[in-house]
Amino acid sequence: MPQVVVGVGGGLGGLGVLHRAAVEARLRRVELCAVLAWQAPDGGPGSRTSCGAPVLALCRSAAAHRLREVLGTAFGAGAPDLTVTGLTVRGTAGAALVDVARDPDDLLVVGSGPRGPLRRLLRPSVARYVLAHAACPVLTVPPSPLQAEYEAVHRRNSWRLPLDARELA
């Protein structure tokens, strides 16, 4: 059965992507599946170190709690004209989204996000991965221009700590 699959992470830009996915699900009259990918602190299932079952259960529980928070923030008590399901998947975001959206009739919605050179180096692009590997159509949602304004104001108004400890005296 076709669905609209959207990745959620809880960031400010993610709410816009989630709402756009909800619009697409309503238009298509299909279920909205919100996916939150999580990884264990040990680096993954094939890692040499293992954090153990209790830590994995705690991470899974934290991811489920975060997903409930995000959906609660986005939709409140619920969207009466939309069926929303949440799914937590252990793994990287791109691989998790591609795995959930297997049907060619699905629609996968991801945010394109701001991609400066440093950010590209430190974090691979989920949108780029999804575009290269998805078996279904992909809708990329650009960041809101209001988000850039919000971040600029936040940077201007953030506290600046003195670099020299003598200035503290």
The model's pTM is 0.79
Along the 169 residues of the chain, how does pLDDT read in single tens digits?
A: 899 999 998 676 788 899 999 999 999 999 999 999 998 886 555 544 566 788 888 999 999 999 999 999 888 876 668 999 999 999 999 999 999 999 999 999 998 866 566 666 666 788 889 999 999 999 999 887 776 676 667 666 555 555 555 555 5
Quote the domain boundaries for residue 120.
3-168
CATH of the domain at 91: 3.40.50.620
| Alpha carbon 165 to chain centroid, angstroms | 39
> In this structure, which long-range contacts are made by residues 62-66, counting pairs with CB atoms below 8 Å and at least 24 apart in sequence?
62/38, 63/36, 63/38, 63/88, 64/88, 66/10, 66/36
Domain count, the chain: 1
